[in-house]
Protein backbone atom coordinates (compact mmCIF):
# COMPACT_ATOMS: atom_id res chain seq x y z
CA UNK A 1 0.00 0.00 0.00
CA UNK A 2 2.96 2.35 -0.42
CA UNK A 3 2.04 5.53 -2.28
CA UNK A 4 4.15 8.25 -3.86
CA UNK A 5 3.26 11.86 -4.61
CA UNK A 6 4.84 14.66 -6.62
CA UNK A 7 4.60 17.89 -4.72
CA UNK A 8 6.06 21.34 -4.67
CA UNK A 9 7.73 21.83 -1.30
CA UNK A 10 9.41 25.22 -0.84
CA UNK A 11 12.73 25.56 0.86
CA UNK A 12 14.20 28.01 3.36
CA UNK A 13 11.82 30.38 5.13
CA UNK A 14 8.60 29.30 3.43
CA UNK A 15 9.28 25.68 4.42
CA UNK A 16 10.09 26.64 7.99
CA UNK A 17 6.96 28.74 8.36
CA UNK A 18 4.73 26.10 6.81
CA UNK A 19 6.17 23.22 8.81
CA UNK A 20 5.90 25.20 12.05
CA UNK A 21 2.30 26.09 11.32
CA UNK A 22 1.36 22.44 10.70
CA UNK A 23 3.49 21.11 13.56
CA UNK A 24 5.65 18.67 11.59
CA UNK A 25 8.67 18.81 9.31
CA UNK A 26 8.05 16.24 6.57
CA UNK A 27 11.74 16.22 5.61
CA UNK A 28 13.09 15.32 9.05
CA UNK A 29 9.94 13.73 10.49
CA UNK A 30 10.29 15.96 13.54
CA UNK A 31 7.15 17.10 15.35
CA UNK A 32 7.16 20.83 16.00
CA UNK A 33 5.38 23.18 18.38
CA UNK A 34 2.67 25.07 16.53
CA UNK A 35 2.37 28.85 16.97
CA UNK A 36 0.32 29.88 19.97
CA UNK A 37 -3.10 31.29 19.08
CA UNK A 38 -4.73 33.37 21.79
CA UNK A 39 -7.94 31.82 23.06
CA UNK A 40 -7.48 28.52 21.20
CA UNK A 41 -6.63 25.34 23.09
CA UNK A 42 -3.37 23.84 21.77
CA UNK A 43 -4.84 20.32 21.65
CA UNK A 44 -7.81 21.49 19.59
CA UNK A 45 -5.51 23.48 17.33
CA UNK A 46 -3.52 20.30 16.64
CA UNK A 47 -6.70 18.36 15.91
CA UNK A 48 -7.82 20.98 13.39
CA UNK A 49 -4.70 20.41 11.28
CA UNK A 50 -4.23 16.65 11.73
CA UNK A 51 -4.85 15.65 8.10
CA UNK A 52 -2.87 18.58 6.71
CA UNK A 53 0.01 17.70 9.04
CA UNK A 54 0.00 14.07 7.87
CA UNK A 55 0.51 15.12 4.26
CA UNK A 56 3.17 17.70 5.08
CA UNK A 57 3.57 21.27 3.84
CA UNK A 58 3.19 21.14 0.06
CA UNK A 59 1.29 22.02 -3.07
CA UNK A 60 0.05 19.03 -5.06
CA UNK A 61 1.37 18.53 -8.58
CA UNK A 62 0.52 14.84 -9.02
CA UNK A 63 -1.69 13.42 -6.29
CA UNK A 64 -0.69 10.31 -4.31
CA UNK A 65 -0.58 7.10 -6.34
CA UNK A 66 0.57 3.51 -6.08
CA UNK A 67 3.27 2.49 -8.55
CA UNK A 68 2.18 0.58 -11.62
CA UNK A 69 3.34 -3.01 -11.96
CA UNK A 70 6.97 -3.47 -13.07
CA UNK A 71 7.93 0.12 -12.18
CA UNK A 72 10.09 0.98 -9.19
CA UNK A 73 11.01 3.96 -7.07
CA UNK A 74 14.37 4.01 -8.84
CA UNK A 75 12.55 4.35 -12.19
CA UNK A 76 10.49 7.22 -10.80
CA UNK A 77 13.56 9.00 -9.47
CA UNK A 78 15.35 8.64 -12.81
CA UNK A 79 12.47 10.10 -14.82
CA UNK A 80 12.00 12.87 -12.25
CA UNK A 81 15.62 13.88 -12.63
CA UNK A 82 15.34 13.87 -16.43
CA UNK A 83 12.07 15.81 -16.41
CA UNK A 84 13.25 18.43 -13.93
CA UNK A 85 16.46 19.00 -15.90
CA UNK A 86 14.29 20.35 -18.73
CA UNK A 87 12.18 22.73 -16.61
CA UNK A 88 12.58 26.44 -16.01
CA UNK A 89 12.06 28.23 -12.72
CA UNK A 90 8.64 29.80 -12.18
CA UNK A 91 8.34 32.70 -9.76
CA UNK A 92 5.00 33.77 -8.33
CA UNK A 93 3.96 36.53 -5.97
CA UNK A 94 3.94 35.69 -2.29
CA UNK A 95 0.90 33.43 -1.81
CA UNK A 96 -1.91 34.69 0.39
CA UNK A 97 -3.90 32.96 3.14
CA UNK A 98 -7.40 32.41 1.76
CA UNK A 99 -10.38 30.18 2.25
CA UNK A 100 -10.64 27.27 -0.16
CA UNK A 101 -14.06 25.85 0.47
CA UNK A 102 -14.05 25.04 4.20
CA UNK A 103 -10.29 24.93 4.78
CA UNK A 104 -7.53 27.52 4.86
CA UNK A 105 -4.73 27.47 2.33
CA UNK A 106 -1.93 29.56 0.93
CA UNK A 107 -3.08 30.40 -2.58
CA UNK A 108 -1.24 31.84 -5.54
CA UNK A 109 -2.06 35.35 -6.77
CA UNK A 110 -1.45 37.04 -10.08
CA UNK A 111 -0.87 35.35 -13.43
CA UNK A 112 -0.77 31.57 -12.92
CA UNK A 113 -0.81 30.36 -16.54
CA UNK A 114 2.79 29.06 -16.52
CA UNK A 115 2.28 27.41 -13.13
CA UNK A 116 -0.94 25.70 -14.26
CA UNK A 117 0.69 24.46 -17.47
CA UNK A 118 3.62 23.05 -15.52
CA UNK A 119 1.35 21.27 -13.03
CA UNK A 120 -0.61 19.56 -15.79
CA UNK A 121 2.61 18.63 -17.58
CA UNK A 122 3.59 16.77 -14.39
CA UNK A 123 0.27 14.93 -14.34
CA UNK A 124 0.61 13.82 -17.96
CA UNK A 125 4.30 12.99 -17.95
CA UNK A 126 4.19 10.74 -14.89
CA UNK A 127 0.80 9.14 -15.37
CA UNK A 128 2.27 5.86 -16.62
CA UNK A 129 3.75 5.43 -13.13
CA UNK A 130 0.26 5.41 -11.59
CA UNK A 131 -1.41 2.07 -10.97
CA UNK A 132 -5.11 2.07 -11.95
CA UNK A 133 -7.49 2.92 -9.13
CA UNK A 134 -9.22 0.03 -7.44
CA UNK A 135 -13.00 -0.08 -7.49
CA UNK A 136 -13.02 0.74 -3.77
CA UNK A 137 -10.79 3.79 -4.26
CA UNK A 138 -12.89 5.02 -7.17
CA UNK A 139 -16.08 4.60 -5.14
CA UNK A 140 -14.53 6.51 -2.24
CA UNK A 141 -13.52 9.37 -4.52
CA UNK A 142 -16.92 9.51 -6.16
CA UNK A 143 -18.63 9.95 -2.79
CA UNK A 144 -17.34 13.53 -2.91
CA UNK A 145 -19.59 16.11 -4.60
CA UNK A 146 -17.85 16.20 -8.00
CA UNK A 147 -18.97 18.07 -11.07
CA UNK A 148 -19.20 16.21 -14.38
CA UNK A 149 -15.82 17.59 -15.59
CA UNK A 150 -14.20 16.70 -12.27
CA UNK A 151 -15.53 13.14 -12.50
CA UNK A 152 -14.09 12.85 -16.02
CA UNK A 153 -10.71 14.03 -14.77
CA UNK A 154 -10.88 11.50 -11.94
CA UNK A 155 -11.48 8.67 -14.39
CA UNK A 156 -8.72 9.81 -16.76
CA UNK A 157 -6.00 10.96 -14.36
CA UNK A 158 -6.95 9.45 -10.99
CA UNK A 159 -7.59 12.88 -9.46
CA UNK A 160 -10.46 15.32 -10.02
CA UNK A 161 -8.64 18.60 -9.35
CA UNK A 162 -6.20 18.81 -12.22
CA UNK A 163 -6.12 20.39 -15.72
CA UNK A 164 -8.72 23.19 -15.79
CA UNK A 165 -9.81 22.29 -12.24
CA UNK A 166 -6.31 22.79 -10.79
CA UNK A 167 -5.84 25.50 -8.16
CA UNK A 168 -2.34 25.89 -6.76
CA UNK A 169 -2.61 25.84 -2.98
CA UNK A 170 -0.78 24.76 0.16
CA UNK A 171 -3.21 23.40 2.74
CA UNK A 172 -3.05 24.88 6.24
CA UNK A 173 -6.02 23.32 8.07
CA UNK A 174 -8.56 20.55 7.89
CA UNK A 175 -12.22 21.40 7.22
CA UNK A 176 -13.48 24.07 9.62
CA UNK A 177 -16.97 25.06 10.64
CA UNK A 178 -17.74 28.75 10.39
CA UNK A 179 -17.42 30.57 13.68
CA UNK A 180 -15.01 32.10 16.18
CA UNK A 181 -12.45 29.27 16.01
CA UNK A 182 -12.24 29.44 12.22
CA UNK A 183 -11.93 33.23 12.42
CA UNK A 184 -9.10 32.95 14.97
CA UNK A 185 -7.20 30.46 12.81
CA UNK A 186 -7.68 32.66 9.75
CA UNK A 187 -6.32 35.76 11.50
CA UNK A 188 -3.40 33.82 13.02
CA UNK A 189 -2.47 32.29 9.66
CA UNK A 190 -2.43 35.70 7.97
CA UNK A 191 -0.07 36.98 10.65
CA UNK A 192 2.12 33.84 10.56
CA UNK A 193 2.55 33.94 6.79
CA UNK A 194 3.12 37.68 6.43
CA UNK A 195 6.07 37.07 4.11
CA UNK A 196 6.63 39.42 1.21
CA UNK A 197 9.20 37.40 -0.72
CA UNK A 198 7.98 35.64 -3.86
CA UNK A 199 7.59 31.89 -4.02
CA UNK A 200 10.09 30.27 -6.37
CA UNK A 201 8.98 27.04 -8.05
CA UNK A 202 12.38 25.55 -8.73
CA UNK A 203 11.94 21.80 -8.34
CA UNK A 204 9.71 18.85 -7.58
CA UNK A 205 9.64 17.07 -4.24
CA UNK A 206 9.09 13.31 -4.13
CA UNK A 207 7.01 12.28 -1.12
CA UNK A 208 6.19 8.79 0.13
CA UNK A 209 3.43 7.32 2.26
CA UNK A 210 5.15 4.11 3.45
CA UNK A 211 1.87 2.42 4.38
CA UNK A 212 -1.79 3.33 4.38
CA UNK A 213 -2.47 6.08 6.90
CA UNK A 214 1.19 6.79 7.67
CA UNK A 215 2.65 10.30 7.61
CA UNK A 216 3.94 11.40 4.22
CA UNK A 217 7.71 11.86 4.16
CA UNK A 218 9.80 14.03 1.85
CA UNK A 219 12.21 11.64 0.17
CA UNK A 220 14.11 13.97 -2.16
CA UNK A 221 13.96 17.28 -4.00
CA UNK A 222 14.74 17.34 -7.72
CA UNK A 223 15.89 20.82 -8.82
CA UNK A 224 15.13 22.32 -12.22
CA UNK A 225 17.70 22.73 -14.92
pLDDT tens string for the chain (225 positions)?
899 999 999 998 999 999 999 999 999 999 999 999 999 999 999 999 999 999 999 999 999 999 999 999 999 999 999 999 999 999 999 999 999 999 999 999 889 999 999 999 999 999 999 999 888 888 888 888 899 999 999 999 999 999 999 999 999 999 999 999 999 999 999 999 999 999 999 999 999 999 999 999 999 999 999
Annotate 90-119 with b (16+ C-beta within 10 A) or e (fewer). Answer: bebebbebbeeeebbbbbbeeebeebbebb
3-state helix, strand, coil in the chain (%, to 5): 40, 20, 40
**Would you give the DSSP letter of residue 127?**
G
What is the predicted pLDDT for the residue at 220?
98
SS3 call for 148: helix
What is the predicted pLDDT for the residue at 98?
97
Rg (CA), the chain: 17
Amino acid sequence: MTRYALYFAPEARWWQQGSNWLGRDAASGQLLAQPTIAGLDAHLQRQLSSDARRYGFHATLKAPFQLADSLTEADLRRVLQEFCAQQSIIQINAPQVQWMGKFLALRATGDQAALNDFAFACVRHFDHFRAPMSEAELARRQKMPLSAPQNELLLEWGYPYTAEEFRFHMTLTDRLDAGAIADSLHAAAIQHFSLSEPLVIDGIALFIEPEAGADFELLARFPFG
